Amino acid sequence: MSEIKKYWKSLSQLNEDPIVKRLSENEFVEELPVDKFLGDKKNLSESQTSRRDFLKFLGFSTAAATLAACENPIKKSIPYVIKPEEITPGIANYYASTIYDGYDYASVLVKTREGRPIKIENNGTHSNARVQASVLSLYDSGRLQYPLKSGKEIDWKTLDNEVKNKLQEIRNGKIILLTSSILSPSTKQLLQNFINKYNRVEHAMFDSVPYDGILNANQESFGIRAIPSYKFHKTNIIVSFGADFLGNWGANNYASDYVGGRNPKSGKMSRHYQLETNLSLTGANADKRIQIKPSEQAYLLSNLYAALNGSSADKRLKSIVKDLKKNTGKSIVLSDSNDKNTQLIVNAINQKLSNYSKTLDISIPCYLKQGDTERVHSLIREMELGEVSALITYNVNPAYTLADNKRFIKALKQVNLTVSTSSYNDETAELMDYVAPDHHNLESWGDAKPYYNYVSLMQPTISPLFNTRQFQDSIISWAEMNEVDYYSYLKKFWSNKGIKWNQALHDGDFNLSESKYFPKRFVFQGKLTDNKTQDKNIEIALYESIALGDGAQANNPWLQEFPDPITRACWDNYITISPSTARDFGLKNWNISNGALNGSLVNIKSGNISLNNLPVMIQPGQANKTIGMAVGYGRKKCGKAGEGIGFNANNFSNSNFITIEKIEGEYEFACTQLHHTMMGRDIVKETTLADYIKDPSSGNERLEFSTYKGKLPSNKVTLYDEHDLKTGHFWNLSIDLSSCIGCGECVVSCQAENNIPVVGKEEVRKSRDMHWLRIDRYFSSEMTKELAVEEKISAIDMFSEMEEPSENPEVVFQPVMCQHCNSAPCENVCPVAATTHSSEGLNQMTYNRCVGTRYCANNCPYKVRRFNWFQYAENEKFDYHMNDDYGKMVLNPDVVVRSRGVIEKCSMCIQRIQDIKLEAKKNGDKIKDKDAQTACSAVCGTNALVFGDRNDQNSEVAKLREDERAYDLLDHLNVRPSVFYQTKVRNKG
């Protein structure tokens, strides 16, 4: 995987042979004036500041951001591959950097055009939708544009002076640095300077979503407060108690390992059990999913531990115990519990199964979560007692994320000096005396050490858009250190450790030679519990939505409109509840006349905490007598896009039992998918591992048509002489349904790459979402055709029952974009020939020619064509990034912004293909497999999407086309798609 990515991102200048250089310089018949600016190439190539000059000249001719970009900080950063003097307008540069906002971490590549970051690519590892979308947050005009003093603008100088004075004045009170988990070694050292500078400074860390349970457990068991590293690809059995490790639990790079260990071709597929409350992304991918209430977890884990030690197992665990016993040292058991004792049991189980240092390794710890919620509680107590005289926050928003935020807000009044470094004037910042706004990641220098002996670097790809300052620089000035700035500090920090700075910056990451940590011998001191829960109580289980996570990026319209992989709803959070429990409370979901989904309202209450008028989303797979609710919504202060969207669930994070009361009224959801089952149709083809091993083509029997030539598969049946697709390229995309976990990273990547507009909740309700790439989610239904035949059920009843998903459904995800049919129904019906076929097997839209009859969209069997119902760009009715001078800067200059009244759809990222073709032409060599990538395939961390040239015999996609699992969606239509799917294989018992 990582190899491939590395190769992909380096444009073929990587190997600097002379021909390549010469050709690339002859790209333009006449030299661009830019080169004149650059003057003497020899000097430039040596001088440190060549790019600065270049960008300066370029800057005058480009937009505000670019102007900014011409000034200092970029000057010292190293372009990813392309040498400075080879930068040409219209050619993208890639910079390796790091995204970390206190919740999401990813090592990334940033694609910049003319000094503007426009796209995030993965640097080897798997990231997620939020990381992909973070580039838009950079251009969020809702960010703070200058430092504040009690809400008024001030300049940095006065802010620094006042803060420093106040800090010095403090005598006996504590000074608290309240931050998120700090991954950056250099920052930690930097903070030490600050701590030394003033007296009684304390540094407290906490995570917006607490991980104290597992951290403390490991502290006790192994003497290290960290999360172990999991090697899912080495497992045969994965048993997850609620841990949504494919979604948001722990680090976000487990998915590639997980899928790596589930490759039917190799015959090895780990079996995945998920025992959980809400239907999570991970649960959706599990082979066997068991619904449990949160409070049962401790009991079941104890029972499992006992069973492994010989006693009898709970009936739900029987098969699990059997499998685990068979696979000692080849399994992982993990839990999302935030209770130390429960996590101790988990450790004990893994110990018992001797998984440590085989499938999970505490001696190679992961430092992503370091927060200590207890410390925060004690901090609040101290604040109330007035022991705290100064509070400086970084990367945290306690007034929003804390369960008892009201207490925190009250206590905050007791503190004389409060400084926030948030880059938004958020719920916390607005209560603070001073706000010293931080840069966005893409404007900052930095480093991060998320895992044992692995460090990734963060470098700015644009100069600050606003008058903001990096937190570290603020610290430097407040600690009155004799440093120029954080950059030089950082460079020194690593150079002293013997790191080749430029190379490291170029690669974006490097390994340290740390001495391995040897954990102390583990002895289980946790206590087992055997009290089952009483079933009558309703329990609540909070989760972080795939779209918003902890809500830090709530003002990001891409994320707000990103449909949840499971519920397919966007612009909202809500209560998920199982169908039968909903029936008990008389709660309903129903579709109104235009199909849009409405739901009942409830009030929920737990102790003295209560939330009113919550919408109810009936969710098959939700455990009975439980409700789920996503945190990260209900932001009061975050900017126009996110404010007042959804409800803040954080207050419930400590409570588990709640009471529900149905109230009058209804709520309007915005769902991109209104129908949840496959209606017995052969859309997602499925088989089990056992069958697959017997017959690789199982579940993928191809339709055959009787012709005068005898029975033929659809692609052999035709009335016409074929058009020639054999010569030149033939771009194909393979989608492996057993690798796709439905994370939706590709959806946002596609949106960023192709300038897809955001249309807002009301339009989505009208089924007018614009995503070119959607991930269909289907639930299994109790009713099947076979059953109907057996029980003599009439077709009408059968279909009406098929519409109902079963209470514990199997879930499948199916990414659907334009299938690029080679006998395309859409092309024939266009009166003006606005959509035609390319000789490379692509179905192409000519926006300029389109008059908007929408006939093509009607005639598309996959319904992937999208119509511009309104003018979405520069229209105050759609006040999202395309109506915002800053937001517009994220637009990809290679892709046109569509006008009102035209049809648009997936182009297979034709602009990328053309780019690669030109590149190859220039270098006079062939396009190598994996060179050409679509936005979706490029970011797919599980390699479910494979793009390439099918005419290139040894390309991966050509091989996949021949695979027994390969099938065309709606094969019987014989439209010959260039996109094809691979049967989903489940490892059922």
Partner 1 sequence: MSNKIIHAIYDDEITLLTAVKKIRSQNINIKEVYSPFPVHGLDKALGLKETRMAITAFIYGCIGISFGGLLIYYMMISGDYKSWPMDIGNKPNWTFYHNLPAFVPIMFECTVLFAAHLMSITYLFRNKLYPGSNDSSPDIRTTDDKFLMEIEVSNSTVNIKDMLRDTGATEINEKE
Partner 2 sequence: MQRESEIRDPLIIGNKSYHDITVEIAKPVEGKANKYWWILFFLSLILFLWGVLCIAYTIGTGIGAWGLNKTVNWAWDITNFVWWIGIGHAGTLISAVLLLFRQKWRMAINRSAEAMTIFGVAQAALFPLIHMGRPWLAYFVFPIPNQFGSLWVNFNSPLMWDVFAISTYFTVSVVFWYIGLIPDFAMIRDRVNGVINPLKKKLYTILAFGWSGRAKHWQRFEEVSLVLAGLATPLVFSVHSIVSMDFATSVIPGWHTTIFPPYFVLGALFSGFAMVETLLIIMRKVVNMEAYITVKHIEYMNIIILFTGSMVGVAYITELFMAWYSGVEYEQYAFLNRATGPYWWAYASMMTCNVVIPQLYWIKKIRTNLVTTFILSIFVNIGMWFERFVIIVTSLHRDYLPSAWTMFSPSFVDIGIFLGTIGFFFVLFLLYSRTFPVIAQAELKSILKSSGSEYKKGHNDE
Residues in contact with partner 1 by the rule CB under 8 A:
720-723, 822-828, 830, 833, 836-839, 976
Interface segment toward partner 2; rule CB under 8 A; list 303-311, 697-705, 716-724, 850-858: 850-858
Binds 481: which of partner 2, partner 1, none (CB < 5-8 Å by kind):
none
Which of 669, 714, 673 is CA-nearest to residue 863? 673
User: Tokens 């029936």 label which residue?
Assistant: 583
Q: Tell me the C-alpha to C-alpha distance, in Å, between residue 685 and each of 410, 559, 699, 811, 975.
A: 57, 30, 6, 12, 18
Interacting residues with partner 2 between 741 and 780 (CB under 8 A): 763, 766-769, 774, 776-778
Q: Tell me the C-alpha to C-alpha distance, in Å, between residue 932 and each of 3, 9, 16, 573, 959.
A: 15, 10, 20, 38, 16
Give the residue, chosen from 416, 598, 838, 871, that forms a contact with partner 2 under the rule CB under 8 A: 871
Helix (H) or strand (E) holding 156: helix 156-169
- For residue 183, the minimal CB distance to partner 2 (Å) is 39
DSSP string for 658-717: EEEEEEEEEEE-EES----B-TT-SSS-EEEHHHHHH-TTTT-PPPEEEETTEEEEGGG-
- For residue 975, the minimal CB distance to partner 2 (Å) is 8
Interface segment toward partner 2; rule CB under 8 A; list 227-235, 262-270, 471-479, 854-862: 854-862
Binds 675: which of partner 1, partner 2, none (CB < 5-8 Å by kind):
partner 2
- Token readout for 608 is 């003295």
Whichever of 193 and 974 has its CB closer to partner 1, that residue is: 974
Binds 837: which of partner 1, partner 2, none (CB < 5-8 Å by kind):
partner 1
Whichever of 414 and 823 has its CB closer to partner 1, that residue is: 823
Interface segment toward partner 2; rule CB under 8 A; list 276-284, 554-562, 731-739, 861-869: 861-869
- For residue 676, the minimal CB distance to partner 2 (Å) is 8
Helix (H) or strand (E) holding 569: strand 569-570
What's the CA gap between 715 and 475, in Å, rounded? 66
- For residue 936, the minimal CB distance to partner 1 (Å) is 25
- Token readout for 965 is 């699992």
Give the residue, chosen from 150, 161, 502, 828, that forms a contact with partner 2 under the rule CB under 8 A: 828
Which of 433, 438, 443, 439 is CA-nearest to residue 463? 443
For position 854 contacting partner 2 by CB under 8 A, the verdict is yes
Whichever of 28 and 590 has its CB closer to partner 2, that residue is: 590
Interacting residues with partner 2 between 781 and 810 (CB under 8 A): 795-796, 799
Helix (H) or strand (E) holding 589: strand 589-591
Give the residue, chosen from 852, 879, 888, 963, that forms a contact with partner 2 under the rule CB under 8 A: 852
Whichever of 143 and 866 has its CB closer to partner 2, that residue is: 866
Whichever of 378 and 828 has its CB closer to partner 2, that residue is: 828
Which of 106, 778, 149 is CA-nearest to residue 448? 106
- In three-state form (DSSP H/G/I as H, E/B as E, the rest C), the secondary structure along 258-293 is HHHCEEHHHCEECEEEEEECCCCHHHHHCCEEEECC
- For residue 910, the minimal CB distance to partner 1 (Å) is 15
Give the residue, chosen from 855, 879, 928, 963, that forms a contact with partner 2 under the rule CB under 8 A: 855
Interface segment toward partner 2; rule CB under 8 A; list 11-19, 256-264, 455-463, 848-856: 848-856
- For residue 970, the minimal CB distance to partner 2 (Å) is 6
User: Tokens 């990096």 label which residue?
Assistant: 470
* 3-class secondary structure, 121: strand
For position 953 contacting partner 2 by CB under 8 A, the verdict is no
DSSP 959: H
Residue 815's beta-bridge partner residues? 775
Whichever of 96 and 775 has its CB closer to partner 2, that residue is: 775
What's the CA gap between 128 and 633, in Å, rounded? 18
- For residue 773, the minimal CB distance to partner 2 (Å) is 13
Interface segment toward partner 2; rule CB under 8 A; list 11-19, 328-336, 449-457, 825-833: 825-833
- For residue 721, the minimal CB distance to partner 2 (Å) is 16
What's the CA gap between 936 and 959, in Å, rounded? 20
Which of 959, 976, 958, 960 is CA-nearest to residue 968? 976
Whichever of 537 and 838 has its CB closer to partner 1, that residue is: 838
Binds 761: which of partner 2, partner 1, none (CB < 5-8 Å by kind):
none
Interacting residues with partner 2 between 662 and 691 (CB under 8 A): 673-681, 683
Give the residue, chosen from 4, 717, 857, 895, that forms a contact with partner 2 under the rule CB under 8 A: 857
Whichever of 164 and 785 has its CB closer to partner 2, that residue is: 785
Binds 595: which of partner 2, partner 1, none (CB < 5-8 Å by kind):
partner 2
Asked if 239 contacts 320 with a C-beta cutoff of 8 angstroms, the reply is yes
Phi-psi region of 568 (alpha: psi -120 to 50; beta: other; left: phi over 0): left
Whichever of 802 and 891 has its CB closer to partner 2, that residue is: 802
- For residue 754, the minimal CB distance to partner 1 (Å) is 23
For position 831 contacting partner 2 by CB under 8 A, the verdict is yes
- For residue 715, the minimal CB distance to partner 1 (Å) is 12
For position 820 contacting partner 2 by CB under 8 A, the verdict is no
Longest Cα separation, the chain = 97
DSSP string for 35-82: HHHH--HHHHHHSTTHHHHHHHHHHHHS-HHHHHHTSGGGGG---SSS
Ranges of beta strands (E only) in 401-534 are 417-420, 434-435, 446-451, 454-458, 509-511
Binds 721: which of partner 2, partner 1, none (CB < 5-8 Å by kind):
partner 1
- For residue 968, the minimal CB distance to partner 1 (Å) is 15
How many residues bind partner 2, per CB under 8 A? 64
Q: Tell me the C-alpha to C-alpha distance, in Å, between residue 271 and each of 15, 524, 630, 935.
A: 43, 27, 28, 31
Whichever of 678 and 966 has its CB closer to partner 2, that residue is: 678
Binds 190: which of partner 2, partner 1, none (CB < 5-8 Å by kind):
none
Whichever of 534 and 593 has its CB closer to partner 2, that residue is: 593
Binds 61: which of partner 1, partner 2, none (CB < 5-8 Å by kind):
none
For position 528 contacting partner 2 by CB under 8 A, the verdict is no
Whichever of 146 and 869 has its CB closer to partner 2, that residue is: 869
Ranges of beta strands (E only) in 496-536 are 509-511
Binds 984: which of partner 1, partner 2, none (CB < 5-8 Å by kind):
none
Whichever of 773 and 824 has its CB closer to partner 1, that residue is: 824
- Token readout for 851 is 């008059």
Q: Is 88 exposed, middle or buried (0-12, 13-18, 19+ CB in 10 A)?
A: middle
Binds 855: which of partner 1, partner 2, none (CB < 5-8 Å by kind):
partner 2
- For residue 828, the minimal CB distance to partner 1 (Å) is 4
What's the CA gap between 357 and 206, in Å, rounded? 28
DSSP string for 593-617: TTS-EEEEEEEEEETTEEEEEEEEE
Interface segment toward partner 2; rule CB under 8 A; list 249-257, 611-619, 721-729, 857-865: 857-865
Phi-psi region of 141 (alpha: psi -120 to 50; beta: other; left: phi over 0): alpha
Binding site for partner 2 (CB under 8 A): 591-595, 673-681, 683, 763, 766-769, 774, 776-778, 795-796, 799, 814, 816, 825, 828-833, 849-855, 857-859, 861-863, 865-871, 899-903, 970, 973, 975
